[in-house]
């Protein structure tokens, strides 16, 4: 059973989501550590093709396809975590992940095996891609405004269509999603209101908004059948920004997450309120490290993404 725990939470492990991928990720880790190679092998076998080769070699255009991106990032994050686990370097008090990264976080505390999680997120990516016709949806980043200001911009721009907040990533960094026309209108409204930057994002679908409801429904039946276990410790969920740990609560949060905003700022603030003073980002890139620094500059930040950073982290844990 998971530990919702006293107020002694000092370290959080956090896991990145879509957008952190790059060709070559995980290659050095798999070559250096048998524990990592085993995770890649298990996921390759479960998926029936070599996602590891796609991680290590690309090509970029294939890696950027949502149904490939999601299991690829999960594979790298889970492989790195497996190395830390084997070396006894997983002392942490709470976990979280950004959107897709929530699955990597769940794997890290025993909720799913890497292979089961990779199978689910590959289908999740496919369902999300197929929820709207290609080119009909869009997303944009608004830099500068508050949540309330962005909500007001979306209300003005909607005109009977869907456009809403998709990601609250950092103070003054909010992503919106919806129909392409309404997102374009929102960009125009934002600029008219003096928003510092409003730019469309190069994404393949409008994630984390009501247009994802068809994906949510398809994913629900898949998650209902998935072999979830209760977590070893609390996961702070994207959808409610609160700690959960039972298999039922995790399953429910993952279903609602698809068409709901990623409340990353509140999730980080919640972990800080629980006593977290150190955030360790495990997986490709350093996106979350940058976001957390903007949310709370006082916390310690560690990024574990390749062989040198793994070795540095293992030395620090001795």
* The pLDDT of residue 134: 87
Q: pTM for the full model?
A: 0.95
Alpha helix segments (H runs only) across the chain: 27-32, 34-47, 51-57, 60-63, 66-86, 101-108, 114-130, 147-158, 180-192, 213-225, 247-257, 264-273, 287-295, 307-316
Token pair recorded at residue 201: 């994002």
- Closest by Cα among 2, 14, 1 to 276: 14
- Closest by Cα among 82, 146, 293, 122 to 222: 122
Active-site residue, from 9, 81, 98, 208: 208
CA distance 58 to 131: 26
* The pLDDT of residue 8: 56
Token pair recorded at residue 161: 């269509």
CATH number of the structural domain 11-130+211-316: 3.40.366.10
* The pLDDT of residue 203: 85
Could you tell me if 18 and 69 are in contact, meaning their C-beta atoms sit under 8 angstroms apart? yes
Residues 6+ apart with CB under 8 A from 79: 26, 29, 30, 33, 35, 36, 37, 39, 40, 114
CA distance 187 to 169: 18
* The pLDDT of residue 318: 66
Sheet strands side by side (includes 94-97): 243-244, 235-236, 94-97, 11-15, 278-282, 300-304
* The pLDDT of residue 6: 44
Q: What is the pLDDT of residues 70-124, one digit of tens each?
A: 999 999 999 999 999 999 999 999 999 999 999 999 999 999 999 999 999 999 9
Q: Which residues pair with 254 in a beta bridge?
A: none
DSSP assignment letter at 167: E
CA distance 196 to 293: 20
CA distance 132 to 136: 7
Q: Is 234 a catalytic residue?
A: no
CA distance 21 to 192: 34
Could you tell me if 43 and 72 are in contact, meaning their C-beta atoms sit under 8 angstroms apart? no
Could you tell me if 75 and 27 are in contact, meaning their C-beta atoms sit under 8 angstroms apart? no
Token pair recorded at residue 284: 């490709």
Active-site residue, from 20, 99, 234, 237: 99
Residue spans of the domains in the chain: they are 11-130+211-316, 137-203
Residue with tokens 């008090």: 93
Taking the CB of residue 120, how many other CB atoms lie within 10 A of it?
Answer: 23
Domain 137-203 falls in which CATH fold? Alpha-Beta Plaits (3.30.70)
Q: Is 141 exposed, middle or buried (0-12, 13-18, 19+ CB in 10 A)?
A: middle
Token pair recorded at residue 174: 């909010």
CA distance 168 to 163: 14
| pLDDT tens track, the chain, 318 positions | 344 444 456 999 999 999 899 999 999 999 999 999 999 999 999 999 999 999 999 999 999 899 999 999 999 999 999 999 999 999 999 999 999 999 999 999 999 999 999 999 999 999 999 999 988 999 999 999 999 999 999 999 999 999 999 999 999 999 999 999 999 999 999 999 999 899 999 888 999 999 999 999 999 999 999 999 999 999 999 999 999 999 999 999 999 999 999 999 999 999 999 999 999 999 999 999 999 999 999 999 999 999 999 999 999 876
CA distance 283 to 65: 19
Taking the CB of residue 6, how many other CB atoms lie within 10 A of it?
Answer: 9
* The pLDDT of residue 168: 98
Q: Is 99 a catalytic residue?
A: yes
* The pLDDT of residue 195: 96
């Amino acid at each position: 059973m998971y530990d919702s725990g006293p107020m002694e939470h000092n370290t959080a492990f956090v896991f990145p989501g879509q957008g952190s991928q790059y060709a070559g990720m995980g290659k050095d880790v798999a070559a250096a550590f048998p524990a990592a190679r085993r995770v890649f092998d298990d996921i390759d076998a479960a998926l029936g093709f070599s996602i590891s080769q796609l991680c290590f070699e690309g090509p970029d255009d294939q890696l950027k396809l949502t149904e490939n991106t999601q299991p690829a990032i999960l594979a790298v994050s889970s492989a790195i975590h497996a190395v830390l686990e084997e070396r006894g370097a997983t002392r942490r008090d709470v976990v979280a992940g950004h959107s897709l990264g929530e699955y990597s976080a769940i794997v890290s505390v025993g909720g799913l095996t890497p292979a089961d999680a990779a199978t689910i997120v590959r289908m999740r990516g496919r369902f999300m891609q197929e929820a709207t016709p290609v080119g009909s949806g869009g997303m944009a980043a608004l830099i500068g405004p508050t949540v309330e200001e962005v909500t007001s911009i979306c209300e003005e721009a909607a005109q009977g269509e869907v456009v809403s907040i998709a990601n609250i990533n950092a103070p003054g960094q909010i992503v919106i999603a919806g129909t392409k026309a309404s997102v374009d209108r929102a960009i125009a409204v934002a600029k008219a209101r003096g928003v510092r930057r409003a730019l469309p994002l190069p994404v393949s679908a409008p994630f984390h908004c009501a247009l994802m409801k068809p994906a949510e429904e398809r994913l629900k039946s898949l998650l209902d059948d998935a072999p979830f276990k209760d977590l070893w410790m609390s996961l702070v969920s994207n959808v409610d920004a609160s700690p959960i740990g039972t298999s039922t609560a995790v399953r429910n949060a993952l279903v609602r997450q698809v068409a709901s905003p990623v409340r990353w700022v509140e999730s980080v603030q919640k972990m800080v309120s629980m006593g977290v003073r150190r955030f360790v980002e495990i997986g490709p890139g350093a996106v979350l490290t940058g976001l957390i620094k903007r949310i709370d500059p006082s916390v310690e930040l560690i990024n574990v993404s390749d062989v040198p950073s793994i070795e540095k982290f293992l030395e620090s844990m001795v």
